[in-house]
């Protein structure tokens, strides 16, 4: 695949799966190794993060999980978690949503975090151990091949991850497979509100920053429906300002019009009984 001088900018449109996975793993390895707040000025951190959780919810969440947070929404706000549930977080990163869910499902419940970046899994496991979270488990794996049995989860959550996958249909098929009949999908993710400017299509830096891999909103919903989910709906949406995107994508050299281009959406769906 042809690349220009900038090491991770592809010039040929659609990137290969290998290029995507490599760029994503490299970025989130760096995020996993940092110990400063994700809400600072560094451009690694712009997959959301700041101000997305009520501060009262964060009081009992370890700071090591908060500083690795890289989400773009709060799936817990729509997941309707209850004590005793089995919950799976796709692309769990440093574990912030797993630890929040852990409190909600209580000792009779269980929360699994799945992530493909080994450093994220190591970090999340250490946080769980150091802070005595007994009802959580972090498994290394790709969300296109979830390392869990079929028909076992009550709820699948995810926060700013499916946009990073080179095969979104496969991710939603896997989410459907592991859910019990009647189980729920509750995701926060980046979606496009109109077509992406050509210059970003093969830009691996913009892909791993949760931008170039995003689907149009209607395509995202269609992908979930194709997997078999019903009652698929957007239950909340925040359109990103042009200013925020300029920081998000550090190399917008051609100065495309980024207004009303990208949003963080909260989406739910149900696996039929």
Ligand X SMILES: C[S@@+](CC[C@H](N)C(=O)[O-])C[C@H]1O[C@@H](n2cnc3c(N)ncnc32)[C@H](O)[C@@H]1O
Q: Which residues contact ligand X by CB under 6 A? A: 24, 28, 47, 69-71, 91-94, 96-97, 115-117, 120, 142-144, 159-161, 164-165, 210
Dig out the tokens for 44 from the structure.
Answer: 């690694």
Q: Shortest distance, CB of residue 251 to ligand X, whole angstroms?
A: 19
Half-sphere exposure of 170 (CA within 13 A, CB side): 9
Nearest approach, Cβ of residue 223 and ligand X (Å) = 14
Contact assessment for residue 165 and residue 141, using Cβ atoms and an 8 Å cutoff: no
57 or 257, CB closer to ligand X? 57
Closest CB to ligand X among 164 and 175? 164
Question: With respect to ligand X, which residue has the nearer C-beta, 78 or 143?
Answer: 143
CB of 67 to ligand X, least distance (A): 10
DSSP helix/strand/coil, 265: strand
Q: Three-class SS of residue 120?
A: helix
Residue 51: exposed, middle, or buried by beta-carbon count in 10 A (0-12, 13-18, 19+)? exposed
Looking at the Cβ atoms of 230 and 235, the one nearer to ligand X is: 235
Beta carbon of residue 126, minimum distance to ligand X (angstroms, whole number): 15
Shortest gap between Cβ of 170 and ligand X (angstroms)? 9
Q: Which of 19/142 has CB closer to ligand X?
A: 142
Sequence-distant (6+) residues with CB within 8 A of 5 are none
Return phi, psi of residue 26, to 5°. Answer: -65, -45
How many angstroms separate the CA atoms of 198 and 214, rounded? 13
């Amino acid at each position: 695949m042809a690349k220009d001088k900038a090491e991770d900018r592809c010039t040929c449109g659609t990137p290969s799966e290998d290029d995507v996975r490599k760029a994503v793993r490299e970025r989130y390895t760096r995020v996993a190794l940092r110990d400063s707040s994700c809400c600072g000025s560094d451009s690694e951190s712009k997959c959301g993060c700041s101000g997305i959780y009520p501060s009262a919810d964060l009081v009992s969440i370890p700071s090591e999980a908060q500083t690795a947070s890289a989400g773009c929404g709060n799936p817990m706000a729509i997941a309707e978690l209850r004590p005793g549930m089995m919950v799976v977080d796709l692309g769990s990163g440093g574990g912030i949503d797993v630890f929040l869910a852990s409190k909600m499902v209580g000792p009779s419940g269980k929360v699994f975090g799945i992530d493909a970046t080994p450093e994220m899994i190591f970090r999340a496991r250490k946080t769980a151990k150091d802070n005595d979270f007994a009802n959580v488990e972090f498994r290394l794996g790709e969300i296109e091949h979830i390392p869990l049995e079929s028909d076992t989860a009550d709820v699948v959550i995810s926060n700013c991850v499916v946009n990073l996958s080179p095969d979104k249909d496969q991710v939603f098929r896997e989410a459907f497979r592991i859910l019990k009949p009647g189980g729920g999908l509750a995701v926060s993710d980046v979606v496009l509100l109109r077509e992406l400017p050509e210059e970003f299509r093969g830009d691996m830096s913009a892909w791993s920053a949760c931008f170039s891999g995003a689907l149009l909103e209607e395509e995202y919903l269609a992908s979930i429906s194709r997997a078999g989910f019903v009652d698929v709906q957007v239950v909340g949406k925040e359109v990103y300002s042009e200013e925020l995107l300029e920081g998000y994508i550090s190399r917008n050299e051609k100065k495309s019009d980024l207004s009303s281009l990208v949003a963080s959406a909260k989406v739910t769906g149900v696996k039929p009984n």
